[in-house]
Structure 1
Amino acid sequence: MRLAIFDLDNTLLAGDSDFQWGQFLIEEGYLDREQHLARNLQFYEDYKQGKLDIYAFLDFQLKPLSEIPRAELEQLHARYMERKVRPMMTDLAQALVDKHKAQGDELLVITATNSFVTTPIAKAYGIDQLIGTTPEQIDGQFTGGVTGTPSFQHGKITRLNEWLSARGQSLADYETVWFYSDSHNDLPLMQLVAQPVAVDPDDTLRAYAEAHGWPIISLRHA
């Protein structure tokens, strides 16, 4: 039994699904361009620098989910998938997923981006299991809050262990575990698995991977 774990944004995707969801809502007229874009860009810079306040970001990013009726959100997401997500999906990423699937490996996406945005993206790659930050819901409508631990930095380990525990499993049950990621924010989980792989990594992760002999691959360029 083997497990292949994939980060999503800037790993399987050649771009950031959370950032592009905000851009999409701006283009659709749901968000004010000037106000939202400036904050979105600042949060993205904080993320890249490893100093993101995840709860401040989630307050900002999940608020639109609470202001749009659920049925309308589903229609928006379908358009978002075609306009923003499909262009970020790469043949090399799909080939890697398909390779693990052909080997009989279990597949899992783990991402800090909320599960409303990301679950359909994982399924588009043929991956049914996803751990994402969980938006709070009451009677089927999002509240703008969060349920449980955000799957960010060390939170990815917490959420992965919760996911395994619910299945009566632990990481030790797997013969080997891969984790593919682009970001130094994922170093806690990468250090935990047997097979960490840096994918189009940021400078911090690249330096760490080189120093520790981890594979470095690109899913954007052959």
Structure 2
Amino acid sequence: MKQAKFAVFDIDGTLIRWQLFHAIVHELGKQGYMDETSHQKIRNARMKWKNRGNPDSFKEYETVLLGEYMVALQTIPPEQYHRAVEKVFDVYKDQLFVYTRSLLRQLKKAGYLLFAISGSQDEIVQKLAAYHGFDAAVGAKLITIEGKYTGHVESPVHRKDTALRELVSTYGASFTGSIAVGDSVSDIAMLELVAQPIAFNPEAALYAHAKKHGWKIVVERKNVVYELDHTNKGYVVA
């Protein structure tokens, strides 16, 4: 039997225009499920990033957000958490980048298997994947004991290559002609596995890696898409 081609997408900042993980944390804060001190720490770190306080301000923001979130999770009832997920899904489900939305539809029409691998919470990743017609998705799973969150998580974010290999094996797909799209360093291991890696709106480290290896680079700004293809003379706008 002929193996199917596949394409795999990161979600946050690649398909969706924002970070679903962050949006859920902020929604929990707005609904009062995080104490004001924790929520303010997150807001302060986010503002420092928005002001471009230093080159590492986004990672510092994520570190603060993750730490406060994991502490707060232990006191949040699962039903309240799921309400926050529903709210964020309703707000963000159609906030897609033009390029990746178009690519997703083209590949679906061409018969590709579509996978999504994300560091955001599995509950919203699965909902988003189903909504946009993905065949399978992997997200971060929150650990529970006796129906309560422990503050621990099993995330694919630093093992996207392993998660992708498992999906390919499960679905009997082929790496021949395969495509991957991602925007951050955590996507590099996944991108390195496929035939056609695409660095989309890449952060600096991914941009440097993509240039070194001659990967396709795509930049989207204000709904205008610039596709940069590698040639023997360097990158040119396609």
1:66-87 per-residue CA deviation (whole Å, 9 max, x = no partner) reads 432222322222222233x246
In the TM superposition, 1:1-222 aligns within 5 A as 1-31=4-34, 32=36, 33-38=39-44, 60-83=68-91, 85-86=92-93, 88-147=95-154, 150-153=155-158, 155-165=159-169, 167=170, 169=172, 173-218=174-219, 221-222=223-224
RMSD over equivalenced CA pairs, Å? 3.2
Q: TM-score, normalised by structure 2?
A: 0.74
Residues 175 and 194 in structure 2, CA contact (< 8 A), matched pair in contact too: no
Do 2:160 and 2:186's aligned partners in 1 also have CA atoms closer than 8 Å? no
Structure number having the greater helix percentage: 1
CA change 1:188–1:43 in 2 (3 A) is farther
Q: Tell me, what secondary structure is at the counterpart of 1:12?
A: coil
**Greater Cα radius of gyration, structure 1 or 2:** 2
Query: Unaligned stretches of 5+ in structure 1?
Result: none
- In structure 1, give the amino acid aligned to 2:8: I
The number of residue pairs the alignment matches comes to 212
* Shift, 1:12, TM fit: 0.5
Which structure ranks higher in relative contact order (CA pairs < 8 Å, sequence separation ≥ 6)? 1
Whether the aligned pair in 2 keeps the contact of 1:62 and 1:135 (CA below 8 Å) is no
Deviates more, 1:121-130 or 1:137-146: 137-146
Task: State the one-letter code of the partner of 2:117.
Answer: I
Matched position secondary structure for 1:10: coil
- What residue ranges of structure 2 are gaps of 5+ in the alignment? 225-238
| 1:125 Cα deviation after fit | 2.2
CA contact (8 A) 1:135 1:144 kept: yes
Residue 168 of structure 1, CA deviation: 7.1
When residues 28 and 168 of structure 1 are mapped into structure 2, their CA distance, relative to the original with a 3 A threshold, is closer
Q: Shift of residue 17 of structure 1? A: 1.3
Alpha-carbon shift at residue 42 of structure 1 (Å): 8.6
Counterparts of 1:3 and 1:47 in 2: how far apart (Å)? 35
